[in-house]
Amino acid sequence: MQNYHKSAKLDNVCYEIRGVVLREARRLEEEGHRVLKLNIGNPAAFELDVPEEIQQDVIYNMHYAQGYVESKGLFSARKAVMHYCQQRGIDKVDIDDIFLGNGVSELIVMSMQAMLNTGDEVLIPAPDYPLWTAAVTLSSGKPVHYHCDEQQNWFPDIDDIRKKITRRTRAIVLINPNNPTGAVYSTELLEQVIELARQHNLIVLSDEIYDKILYDGTTHVSTASLADDVLFFTYNGLSKNYRAAGYRSGWLIISGAKHRATDLIEGIEMLSNMRLCANVPAQLAIQTALGGYQSINDLVAPGGRLYEQRETAWRMLNDIPGVSCVKPQGALYLFPRLDPKKFPMINDEKLVLDLLLQEKILLVQGSAFNIDDKQHLRVVFLPREDTLEDAMSRLGHFLGNYQQ
Ligand code: PLP
């Protein structure tokens, strides 16, 4: 009998955050071990709950969530997103420019499917959130990674972006605030990217899912608020700012040079129609989330859980000999570097696997985020401070004796 194979279009699609190492972690758990998961940005798994008013809203409205709704999403939810655009300075957004999806993830895949022909190139940051690279590859496009400079607080290297633009480049992705580096970009940097997009007729794809998770008084500027003559796709949702990752609720806002994108928007509408609509109970939560009490602000202020956890994990990482880490200004992650003099020629996936087997701590290897070097790790700082303290000191102990 013949075996069943996956399709060839998946051959080069790579998504390692949930790869080999995670499977090993599951095996350990099945054997009865307790694994500390610092691998996925899932706030609710660490008692960072969805605000009560949002939960109550979903429960109360469940009765009204029984049927399909318009494929772009509920009117009330999209109205709330429109209002949000106004607050963020994204001008001239109509209700029809907003698409609700089952998380930003679905909308990323959907928009890449709609946008790309075989061989079309998309500029993606390195390191990236790897769904972007996977979605471009799945859509028969070619991901082209641009360099983000660790020495410059992980800001994108504009010259590198410029050099990598070709006739086939369709779009440029910005992840701001950034996963995995925690960088939050300045207006000046965003304007430079927009200028390149303007000159080369590129679409700017701005993933802003962490736009309210900001530390040390950092402000976030929405890329699309800075111009109206370039086409912008802005992605956001409930997973992080409102800790509702399990609701699977996100939105895509199309703004700027929309008049030149009628055909592309039709393509997105078609894909959106094909899946009928996004999860309706979660759409009902959007209005309350965006209009309600923004409890995330308490969590990121000094004394708040996320702020203090970031401080502790960052300080303890930098105290480990041979480890250095740029301080994240946003999001939920640290991206420490292992000095090649102390850790020469390491295989970062093997290191993460060895750490898991020895200390039962689960991290993600830096190379899963599509950077060339194997000298980085990604640490999620969602667990409570005492757990993080324990994890960081065990990591220090592990690295102190580590050899491959
Ligand atoms: N974009 C970035 C930068 C992320 O870090 C994540 C999840 O970690 C997503 C998108 C996916 O978000 P969602 O839960 O809305 O699908």
The predicted structure's pLDDT at residue 69: 97
Residue 195 has pLDDT above 70, yes or no: yes
Query: Tens digit of pLDDT for each residue in 261-279?
Result: 999 999 999 999 999 999 9
Q: Return the residue whose CA atom lies nearest to atom 5 of ligand 1.
A: 179
Is residue 198 included in any domain, yes or no?
Answer: yes
pLDDT band per the 50, 70, 90 thresholds, residue 152: very high
Peptide bond into 127 cis (omega under 30): yes
Q: Are residues 256 and 389 in the same domain?
A: no
- Report how far residue 258's alpha carbon sits from residue 91's, in angstroms, rounded to the nearest whole number: 12
Instruction: Return mean pLDDT, the chain.
Output: 95
Distance (angstroms) between ligand 1 centre and the Cα of 241 equals 11
The predicted structure's pLDDT at residue 210: 98
What is the sign, positive or negative, of the torsion defined by CA atoms of 276, 282, 287, 291? negative
| Ligand 1 and 137: CB distance under 6 A | no
pLDDT band per the 50, 70, 90 thresholds, residue 235: very high
Residues 6+ apart with CB under 8 A from 49: 55, 243
Q: Are residues 214 and 306 in the same domain?
A: no
Is residue 1 included in any domain, yes or no?
Answer: no
Number of domains in the chain: 2
CATH number for 117:
3.40.640.10
Q: Are 368 and 377 in contact (CB under 8 A)?
A: no
Q: Are residues 57 and 25 in the same domain?
A: no
Query: Cα dist. 84→32, 77, 98, 277 in Å?
Result: 46, 11, 11, 22
Block residue for tokens 């995995």: 180
Is residue 234 included in any domain, yes or no?
Answer: yes
Distance (angstroms) between ligand 1 centre and the Cα of 209 equals 6
Work out which ligand 1 atom sits closest to the CA atom of 238. Answer: 15
Q: Which domain holds residue 57?
A: 52-291
Q: Are residues 19 and 76 in the same domain?
A: no
**What are 323's strand-pairing partners?**
338
By C-alpha distance, which of 127, 52, 37 is closest to 382?
37
Q: Which of 291, 318, 337 is the last residue of a domain?
A: 291
The number of C-alpha atoms within 13 Å of 16 and in the hemisphere containing its C-beta is 19
Is residue 390 included in any domain, yes or no?
Answer: yes
Mean pLDDT of 27-43: 93
By C-alpha distance, which of 280, 255, 220 is closest to 85?
255
Q: Are residues 208 and 114 in the same domain?
A: yes
Work out which ligand 1 atom sits closest to the CA atom of 240. Answer: 14
**Which amino acid does the sequence have at 350?**
K
Q: Are residues 215 and 108 in the same domain?
A: yes
By C-alpha distance, which of 201, 218, 200, 198 is closest to 210?
218
For residue 25, count other CB atoms closer than 10 A to its CB. 21
Q: Which of 238, 272, 291 is the last residue of a domain?
A: 291
Distance (angstroms) between ligand 1 centre and the Cα of 109 equals 12
- Report how far residue 17's alpha carbon sits from residue 303's, in angstroms, rounded to the nearest whole number: 30
Q: Are residues 107 and 235 in the same domain?
A: yes
| Ligand 1 and 209: CB distance under 6 A | yes
- Report how far residue 306's alpha carbon sits from residue 309's, in angstroms, rounded to the nearest whole number: 5
Q: Which of 291, 317, 342 is the last residue of a domain?
A: 291
* Continuous segment of H or E residues that includes residue 86: helix 75-88
Distance (angstroms) between ligand 1 centre and the Cα of 105 equals 6
Work out which ligand 1 atom sits closest to the CA atom of 245. Answer: 14
**Which amino acid does the sequence have at 223?**
T
Distance (angstroms) between ligand 1 centre and the Cα of 215 equals 19
Q: Are 326 and 332 in contact (CB under 8 A)?
A: no
Residue 377 has pLDDT above 70, yes or no: yes
Residues 6+ apart with CB under 8 A from 368: 16, 17, 19, 130, 349, 378
Query: Tens digit of pLDDT for each residue in 59-83?
Result: 999 999 999 999 999 999 999 999 9
Residue 234, φ and ψ in degrees, nearest 5: -115, 130
Q: Return the residue whose CA atom lies nearest to atom 12 of ligand 1.
A: 104
Distance (angstroms) between ligand 1 centre and the Cα of 234 equals 13
Mean pLDDT of 375-394: 96
Is residue 2 included in any domain, yes or no?
Answer: no
- Report how far residue 244's alpha carbon sits from residue 268's, in angstroms, rounded to the nearest whole number: 25
Q: Are residues 109 and 37 in the same domain?
A: no
Distance (angstroms) between ligand 1 centre and the Cα of 3 equals 34
The predicted structure's pLDDT at residue 306: 98
Q: Are residues 75 and 138 in the same domain?
A: yes
Q: Are residues 283 and 334 in the same domain?
A: no
Q: Are residues 74 and 23 in the same domain?
A: no
| Ligand 1 and 104: CB distance under 6 A | yes
Residue 244 has pLDDT above 90, yes or no: yes
Is residue 117 included in any domain, yes or no?
Answer: yes
The predicted structure's pLDDT at residue 201: 97
Query: Tens digit of pLDDT for each residue in 4-28?
Result: 989 888 888 877 666 788 899 999 9
User: In this structure, what token pair is assigned to residue 301?
Assistant: 């202020």
Under DSSP, is residue 82 helix (H, G, I), strand (E, B) or coil?
A: helix
- Report how far residue 84's alpha carbon sits from residue 142's, in angstroms, rounded to the nearest whole number: 33
Mutation test of ligand 1: which of 16, 111, 209 has the most ligand atoms closer than 8 Å to its C-beta?
209
CATH number for 351:
3.90.1150.10
User: In this structure, what token pair is assigned to residue 344?
Assistant: 């020469």
Q: Are residues 135 and 189 in the same domain?
A: yes
Is residue 3 included in any domain, yes or no?
Answer: no
What is the sign, positive or negative, of the torsion defined by CA atoms of 117, 176, 15, 349? positive
| Ligand 1 and 74: CB distance under 6 A | no
Q: Are 17 and 366 in contact (CB under 8 A)?
A: no
